[in-house]
Amino acid sequence: MNLVRALVLWAPLALAAGAGTALPMLAGCSPREQAPAVTYTLLDGRKSSLVALRGQVVLVNFWATDCAPCVREMPQFAQTWRKFSPRGFDTLAVAMSYDAPVLVSNFAQAHALPFGVVIDNTGDVAARFGNIQLTPTTLLINRRGEIVRRWTGATDFEQLTGLVSRLLDEH
């Protein structure tokens, strides 16, 4: 039995049994996936990069103006940003390539989105994050640039706020 198969089979049992200790990290393996070093264009035309946000906890939300769950989540993302941004939290709302920039701009203005809105008209940002096609898809990145959580579909905001708070407390 190879090591990966053993971990897949035995890790849930160890966790269910309340093992109380984390599984040892395997030599040479990264504990978390590193976020891609993407560059992007914000709605106001400024160019930036995810690397420039290193040292902050960052939420990246892939969304579309015609996605009902995405639209419903935006006020909660804004509330989360307002709560945590003074502590080093940032949010990027990445509009999918098929979403017309004028619709994205109108939405962002109408809802007074307080965080960066990315126009991904080439689809490069979504591709670099693993070819994201489903909306909403939300990723949480720690201060070291590692992806610590991914939600496909509606975001669990109770879980999100608890995790953001813990990550901001890490140094």
- Token pair of 107 as six digits: 């939405």
Cα separation of 71 and 145, whole Å?
Answer: 27
Say what the pLDDT of residue 32 is. Answer: 78
- Does 72 have pLDDT greater than 50? yes
Query: For residue 25, what pLDDT band results from cuts at 50, 70 and 90?
Result: very low
CA gyration radius for the chain? 18
Give the residue with greater pLDDT, 22 vs 163: 163
Render 96-156 in DSSP notation, one character per residue.
-TTS-HHHHHHHHHHTT--SEEEE-TTSHHHHHTT---SSSEEEEE-TTSEEEEEEESS--
Coil, strand or helix at 5:
helix
The pLDDT tens digits for 92-138 are 999 999 999 999 999 999 999 999 999 999 999 999 999 999 999 99
What is the reported pLDDT for 108?
Answer: 97
User: Ramachandran region of residue 20, left (φ > 0), alpha (ψ -120 to 50) or beta?
Assistant: left
Domains of the chain: 29-169 (3.40.30.10)
